[in-house]
Structure 1
């Protein structure tokens, strides 16, 4: 199986819609690639100071199948939420096609910084999200080694 490393750094967001009127907004992101499966979803810690201008500078590391960057349709989905004790409130989200990200990053040596508008459903919401991504070299992974990596990952959770 051909795979490659993919590093995603969420830098921050600007001018997000205020979804909490009384207390401070503590915005965090939920990131998924290819599906909205909660088992593979990763989260950033909430930013407790920026409110509608959160800054995370938080990096997540992935190993993705080569087919995810060679074919259209695999989406990177970043959903933003405001942390609350009585249930988190949805702020908006960004969708980016992995192939488009890969092609853009290849123009700059394998990594690039990007800025996408935050959307709520099909309507543009307020604000924009800044992130950078880096794609590693394509490597072939033995299926047995891949299975062992999944078992080790599950034990660490």
Structure 2
């Protein structure tokens, strides 16, 4: 099968006040690919600059080329925060079809692109607002890659 490397760097979350009991929460992001059950990576807890959690955390994935071209893969970023009791909580999500990201590159598929996407809030925080900032790029297609060696 043919695969294409994909790199994403989650920069920061802006315009979404994340406060719990008068304290800023320990926000982090979980990135996965809908359509590929084996993909899941997580940022460390963000540092705060003003009211923005900032990660500046790069991640790499390898996407199946045919699923990418047929619009069968979706980038999902869950914005979560750590809680002492009761486990971690998802506060917002971002869903972006990979085909949209690929098409946005045009002829510059290997150049770093910059993106901003509005977050989808969970019902517990209203009104919906906030933006996730990130950069991304696709690598050259790997023909007949079996996944046994790195990319």
TM-score of the pair, normalised by structure 2? 0.83
Preserved contact between residue 90 and residue 122 of structure 2 (Cα < 8 Å): no
Preserved contact between residue 32 and residue 77 of structure 1 (Cα < 8 Å): yes
How much has 1:95 moved relative to structure 2? 0.4
Unaligned runs of 5+ in 2: none
Q: CA, structure 1 residues 121+24, in 2 after alignment: closer, same or farther (shift >3 Å)?
A: closer
Q: Hey, what does 2:88 align to over in structure 1?
A: 88
Q: CA, structure 1 residues 31+51, in 2 after alignment: closer, same or farther (shift >3 Å)?
A: farther
Separation in structure 2 between the aligned mates of residue 30 and residue 66 of structure 1, nearest angstrom: 23
Q: Hey, what does 1:77 align to over in structure 2?
A: 76
Q: CA, structure 1 residues 48+132, in 2 after alignment: closer, same or farther (shift >3 Å)?
A: closer
- Structure 1's consecutive aligned runs of 4 or more residues displaced over 6 angstroms after TM superposition are none
Separation in structure 1 between the aligned mates of residue 74 and residue 80 of structure 2, nearest angstrom: 19
Separation in structure 2 between the aligned mates of residue 26 and residue 10 of structure 1, nearest angstrom: 16
Q: State which drifts further: 130-139 or 27-36.
A: 27-36
Q: Hey, what does 2:40 align to over in structure 1?
A: 41
Q: Hey, what does 1:126 align to over in structure 2?
A: 129
Q: CA, structure 1 residues 48+32, in 2 after alignment: closer, same or farther (shift >3 Å)?
A: same
Preserved contact between residue 102 and residue 109 of structure 2 (Cα < 8 Å): no
Preserved contact between residue 118 and residue 124 of structure 1 (Cα < 8 Å): no
Preserved contact between residue 15 and residue 129 of structure 2 (Cα < 8 Å): yes
State the number of aligned residues: 146
Q: Hey, what does 1:2 align to over in structure 2?
A: 2
How much has 1:16 moved relative to structure 2? 1.4
